[in-house]
């Protein structure tokens, strides 16, 4: 069976959507277009780490004429102005993946100042029209509280990825935990409970099947580029598994290195 959550599978997903009449849109386009197509797929990417994967995905999408939104955290490892410009130049939206209530340790006034400052830092390089909440299961705060306390129009923002959506209009699917299946989770990023979803899928192949039926005309996908691998990494992972099977410690080390991003625990959404 083909490995899921690879670039190849991602490309197949986009192609299947387009072949069945779904237009792939950014968050900004969804929120600001006067008329929306009958079938659409809002594509949102939260970039928590591994910025190079974001550029890979942005290129895959651009090659297919699809538009998506990329939200970058303001931390050192993801605040890469050159990359923001490269992603925007491919026709995508770049936004701020905010976590100011966490960094302000829950102090709302400090968090608002930090949000404003970070928004300005992004806007020195690219236009920013929408923002996306970063969820951290290790803190008790809900970062959305900051944006909820603001008048978005005052900040020239067209919307926020949860607060500005009616999730009865678009059906939400997220690749958190490398499955599309939504379970009750400690991560506070699900807009509706699993029981309220009209349908669930587990693998990307099942999501493709769903698109082929056309039964859900409007979807909203949250895709974390760092959770998807290109074919070289895929090969390395397969290879290291063989080494582990043979009892090599080196292989275990490779597996840990390749999967390290999932075990750091600093953020999962």
Q: Which residues would be at the binding site for Zn ion (CB under 5 A)?
A: 46, 48, 134, 269
Q: How many Cα atoms within 13 Å fall on the side-chain side of residue 240?
A: 17
C-alpha–C-alpha distance, residues 249 and 100, integer Å: 41
Is the four-CA dihedral 166, 131, 224, 263 of positive or negative sign? negative
CA distance 5 to 229: 7
Measured from the CB atom, is 119 or 269 closer to Zn ion? 269
Q: Is 247 left (phi over 0), alpha (psi -120 to 50) or beta?
A: left
Q: How far is the CB of 268 from Zn ion (least distance, A)?
A: 8
Our CA angle for 171, 234, 91, nearest 5°, is 50
Shortest Å distance, C-beta 100 to Zn ion: 13
Is residue 101 within 8 A of residue 143, CB to CB? The reply is yes
136 or 240: whose CB is closer to Zn ion? 136
State the nearest-atom distance from the C-beta of 133 to Zn ion, in Å: 8
Report the C-alpha gap between 106 and 141 in whole angstroms. 6
Give the residue with the Cβ less far from Zn ion, 62 or 187: 187
In the bound state with Zn ion, the residue whose beta carbon lies nearer, of 44 and 134, is 134
Minimum Å distance from CB 175 to Zn ion?
12
CB of 39 to Zn ion, least distance (A): 28
Q: Which is nearer to Zn ion, 30 or 71 (CB)?
A: 71
When CB distances to Zn ion are compared, the closest residue is: 134
Of 28 and 44, CB closest to Zn ion = 44
Q: Rounded to the nearest whole angstrom, what is the least distance from the CB of residue 209 to Zn ion in the complex?
A: 28
The rounded distance, in Å, linking the Cα atoms of 202 and 268 is 18
């Amino acid at each position: 069976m083909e490995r899921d959550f690879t670039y190849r599978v991602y490309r197949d997903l986009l192609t299947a959507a387009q072949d069945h009449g779904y237009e792939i849109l950014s968050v900004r386009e969804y929120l600001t277009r006067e008329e929306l197509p009958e079938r659409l797929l809002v594509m949102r990417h939260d970039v928590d780490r591994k910025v190079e994967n974001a550029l890979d995905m942005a290129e895959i999408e651009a090659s297919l004429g699809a538009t998506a939104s990329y939200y970058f955290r303001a931390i050192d490892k993801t605040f890469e102005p050159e990359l923001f410009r490269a992603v925007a130049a491919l026709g995508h939206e770049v936004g701020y993946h905010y976590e100011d209530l966490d960094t302000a340790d829950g102090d709302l006034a400090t968090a608002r100042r930090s949000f404003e400052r970070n928004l300005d830092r992004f806007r020195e390089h690219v236009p920013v029209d929408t923002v996306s909440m970063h969820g951290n299961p290790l803190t008790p705060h809900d970062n959305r509280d900051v944006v909820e306390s603001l008048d978005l129009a005052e900040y020239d923002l067209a919307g926020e990825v949860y607060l500005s959506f009616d999730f009865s209009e678009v059906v939400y699917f997220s690749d958190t935990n490398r499955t599309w299946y939504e379970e009750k989770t400690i991560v506070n990023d699900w807009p509706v409970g699993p029981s309220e979803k009209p349908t669930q899928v587990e693998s990307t192949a099942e999501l493709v099947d769903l698109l082929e039926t056309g039964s859900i005309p409007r979807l909203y996908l949250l895709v974390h580029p760092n959770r998807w691998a290109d074919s070289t990494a895929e090969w390395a992972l397969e290879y290291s598994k063989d080494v582990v099977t043979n009892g090599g410690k080196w292989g275990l080390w490779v597996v840990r290195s390749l999967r390290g991003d999932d075990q750091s625990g600093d953020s999962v959404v």
